[in-house]
């Protein structure tokens, strides 16, 4: 199938927002999504953007049952390793179910790493839920290491009241 990978524009944020929700439904966590397309527009298309996004688009004749031509996205940002330097983090990689098996996911992933390489990045990291075998297999087949298994890294998060409490305790000097 014919498709094109291109950087997202501000005008794509409604479509990105739709696919973020589709992915969250797949991950059984749709109640967690609190982001609006206006926030994506504000935070991704400003002077120091918080993220970058690539879009997969098919020609009109291949549009989805519901009429969509934007059928996948890769959402990433730049991070930094104090051991290795410039890195990337892939927050989301998604292809609509009816478009899978056409190499679109692989193409999105490759394009992200190409963009990162051009910026001097030496790592691409991401997180996957342990029950999400299709995704774990997809990344493993391309040479990814599972660092939670091999090195024992655990993911830790502060949010809500605990984050507020920490911020309130900051020294005033």
Site for its own copies in 118-157 (CB under 8 A): 122-131, 136, 139, 142-149, 151-157
Query: Binders of its own copies among 37-66, rule CB under 8 A?
Result: 39, 43-44, 48, 50-51
> Min. distance of Cβ 97 from its own copies in angstroms?
18
Considering only 33, 46, 63, 98, the residue that binds its own copies (CB under 8 A) is 33
What is d(CA 159, CA 134) in angstroms, rounded to the nearest whole number?
Answer: 29
Helix (H) or strand (E) run with residue 138 in it: helix 133-141
Q: Which two tokens stand for residue 138?
A: 């997809």
Residue carrying the six token digits 């605990």: 162
User: Does residue 100 belong to the site contacting its own copies (CB under 8 A)?
Assistant: no
Dihedral (Cα; 97, 133, 55, 9), 10-degree rounding: 120
Q: 62 or 106, CB closer to its own copies?
A: 106
> Min. distance of Cβ 57 from its own copies in angstroms?
10
Which phi-psi region, left, alpha or beta, contains residue 67 (left: φ > 0; alpha: ψ -120 to 50)? left
Considering only 60, 61, 134, 167, the residue that binds its own copies (CB under 8 A) is 167
**Residue 119 near residue 86, CB atoms below 8 Å:** yes
Query: Binders of its own copies among 67-96, rule CB under 8 A?
Result: 75, 77-86, 89, 91-92
What is d(CA 102, CA 85) in angstroms, rounded to the nearest whole number?
Answer: 34
> Min. distance of Cβ 43 from its own copies in angstroms?
6
Q: What angle do CA 20, 7, 93 make, to 5 degrees?
A: 35
Q: 35 or 68, CB closer to its own copies?
A: 35
139 classed as catalytic? yes
> Min. distance of Cβ 85 from its own copies in angstroms?
6
Residues recognised as catalytic: 139
């Amino acid at each position: 199938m014919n498709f094109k990978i291109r950087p997202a524009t501000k005008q794509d944020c409604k479509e990105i927002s739709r696919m973020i929700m589709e992915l969250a439904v797949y991950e059984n966590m749709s109640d967690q999504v609190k982001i609006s397309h206006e926030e994506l527009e504000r935070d991704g298309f400003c002077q120091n953007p918080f993220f970058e996004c690539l879009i997969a688009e098919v020609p009109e004749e291949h549009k989805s049952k519901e009429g969509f031509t934007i059928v996948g996205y890769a959402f990433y940002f730049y991070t930094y390793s104090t051991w290795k330097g410039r890195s990337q983090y892939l927050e989301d990689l998604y292809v609509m179910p009816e478009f899978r098996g056409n190499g679109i996911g692989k193409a999105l992933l490759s394009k992200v790493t190409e963009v990162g390489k051009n910026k001097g990045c030496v790592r691409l990291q991401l997180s996957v839920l342990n029950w999400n075998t299709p995704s774990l297999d997809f990344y493993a087949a391309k040479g990814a290491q599972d660092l939670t298994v091999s090195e024992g890294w655990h993911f830790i998060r502060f949010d809500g009241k605990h984050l507020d409490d920490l911020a309130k305790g900051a020294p005033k000097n």
